């Protein structure tokens, strides 16, 4: 039983990130399919999913298409009751649903003024009063969630849930635009963005180059704060320390260099996502450790 998930460009599609995290974080089997949000192919790419017209969209194993993130979330939770997508406690579960529903329906100023981007952190951005009101409301909801759950730090309801999924792109906006929130909530945002799955999502997004870059601002910026600056770089040839790709086990076709050693992969995507954030990939780290200590 495998789901088909249809997503848009990873660096910019906040709703696609939510759809992907629903499956990835709760270990549900899926295949990803890219929809061309910025290539002009979106309408054509979405034809087989009609009447769904936005990403993400989910095709169930029986062929049923589910559009809209909240409908996807409830469908997956219903089909996988033991996966823990919603909190176990009834009060926490009801509150988590509330937070997700308000995320879907609200915060229009924040979403419109601060489109999600995972490339850099803008400096000197001045949010409008409407966006500041959205941030205040978000902090109120997060505080209420912690009152209900008793979780002072970490996931809003103690264990990672769909509430954390739905607010991860909000965290990306807060960090990416330097928006004012409490230190505790900034720490929560950084924790969400430090999750290995989110790092992998961003690394995969960085394999695509954009010209022009969507949502660029005429402001100074600093580096994304999660993960050290990558010291890896792509190189030509197929000579490498390893014989097969750490992800697929297939023969080497593309190579990167890191700390004076060359490591091989089965295709450009595998190599380039590793170049973007080598520390985000346990398979790569395990391969390096195993070979260097053998």
How far are the Cα atoms of 107, 198, 268 from residue 233, in angstroms, in the given order?
39, 21, 12
Expressed as residue numbers, the domain containing 38 is: 3-79
Beta bridge mates, 251? 244
| Residue 276 covered by a domain | yes
Does residue 226 lie within any of the structural domains?
no
- Based on the domain organization, do 74 and 102 belong to the same domain? no
Handedness of CA 17, 152, 126, 133 (dihedral sign): positive
pLDDT of residue 121: 97
Q: Which of 79, 98, 121 is the last residue of a domain?
A: 79
Tell me how far CA of residue 83 lies from CA of 18, 23, 25, 220, 258, in angstroms.
16, 10, 10, 42, 37
How would you write the pLDDT of the chain (294 residues) with one tens digit per residue? Answer: 899 999 999 999 999 999 999 999 999 999 999 999 998 899 999 999 999 999 999 999 999 999 999 999 999 999 999 999 999 999 999 999 999 999 999 999 999 999 999 999 999 999 999 999 999 999 999 999 999 999 999 999 999 999 999 999 999 999 999 999 999 999 999 999 999 999 999 999 999 999 999 999 999 999 999 986 789 999 999 999 999 999 999 999 999 999 999 999 999 999 999 999 999 999 999 999 988 876
Which residues neighbour 119 within 8 Å (Cβ) at sequence distance 6 or greater? 11, 206, 213, 224
Q: Residue 227: how many CB atoms within 10 A of its CB?
A: 17
With respect to residue 138, please indicate whether it lies within any of the assigned structural domains: yes
With H, G, I as helix, E, B as strand and everything else as coil, classify residue 87.
Answer: coil
| pLDDT number for residue 73 | 98
Of 58, 79, 100, the one marking the end of a domain is 79
Identify whether 215 is part of a domain: no
Is position 204 within any domain?
A: no
CA dihedral sign of residues 81, 85, 90, 96: negative
Residues 6+ away with beta carbon under 8 Å from 239: 255, 262, 264
Mark which of 199, 217, 245 sits at the end of a domain: 199
Q: Which residue has the tokens 């509150």?
A: 95
Residue burial 23-32, b: 16+ Cβ < 10 Å; e: rest: bbbbebebeb
Q: Name the domain count of the chain.
A: 3
**CATH at 21:** 3.40.30.10
Assess whether 74 and 94 both reside in one domain: no
Residue 263 lies in a domain: yes
Q: Which of 269, 205, 200, 202 is nearest to 234 (CA)?
A: 269
Q: Are residues 106 and 72 in the same domain?
A: no
- Please tell me whether residue 186 adopts helix, strand or coil conformation: helix
Residue 135 is assigned to a structural domain of this protein: yes
* pLDDT at residue 294, rounded to an integer: 65
Q: What is the CATH number of the domain that holds 122?
A: 1.20.1050
Cα dihedral 187/189/195/197 (nearest 10): -170
pLDDT computed for residue 181 by the predictor? 98
Which class for 83: exposed (0-12), middle (13-18), buried (19 or more C-beta within 10 A)?
middle
In a domain, 223, yes or no: no
**Residue 135 and residue 189 share a domain:** yes
Whether residues 39 and 100 fall in one domain: no
């Amino acid at each position: 039983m495998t789901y088909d998930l249809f997503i848009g460009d990873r660096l910019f599609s906040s709703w696609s990130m939510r759809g992907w995290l629903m499956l990835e974080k709760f270990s549900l089997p899926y295949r990803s399919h890219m929809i061309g949000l910025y290539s002009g192919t979106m309408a054509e790419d979405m034809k087989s999913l009609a009447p769904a017209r936005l990403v993400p969209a989910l095709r169930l194993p029986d062929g049923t298409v589910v559009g809209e993130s909240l409908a996807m979330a409830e469908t997956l939770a219903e089909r996988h009751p033991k996966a823990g997508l919603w909190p176990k406690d009834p009060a926490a579960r009801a509150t988590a649903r509330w937070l997700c529903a308000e995320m879907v329906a609200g915060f229009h100023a924040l979403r419109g003024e601060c489109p999600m981007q995972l490339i850099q952190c803008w400096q000197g951005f001045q949010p409008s009063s409407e966006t500041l009101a959205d941030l205040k409301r978000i902090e109120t909801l997060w505080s209420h969630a912690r009152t209900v759950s008793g979780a002072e730090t970490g996931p809003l309801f103690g264990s990672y849930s769909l509430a954390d999924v739905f607010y991860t792109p909000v965290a990306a906006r807060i960090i990416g635009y330097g928006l004012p929130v409490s230190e505790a909530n900034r720490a929560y945002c950084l924790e969400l963005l430090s999750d290995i799955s989110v790092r992998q999502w961003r690394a995969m997004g960085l394999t695509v180059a954009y010209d022009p870059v969507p949502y660029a601002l005429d402001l100074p910026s600093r580096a994304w704060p999660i993960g050290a600056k990558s010291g890896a770089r792509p190189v030509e040839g197929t000579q490498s320390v390893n014989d097969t790709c750490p992800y697929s086990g297939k023969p080497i076709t593309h190579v990167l260099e890191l700390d004076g050693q060359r490591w091989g992969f089965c295709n450009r995507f595998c190599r380039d996502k590793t170049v973007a954030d080598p520390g985000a990939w346990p398979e790569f780290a395990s391969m390096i450790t195993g070979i260097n200590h053998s």
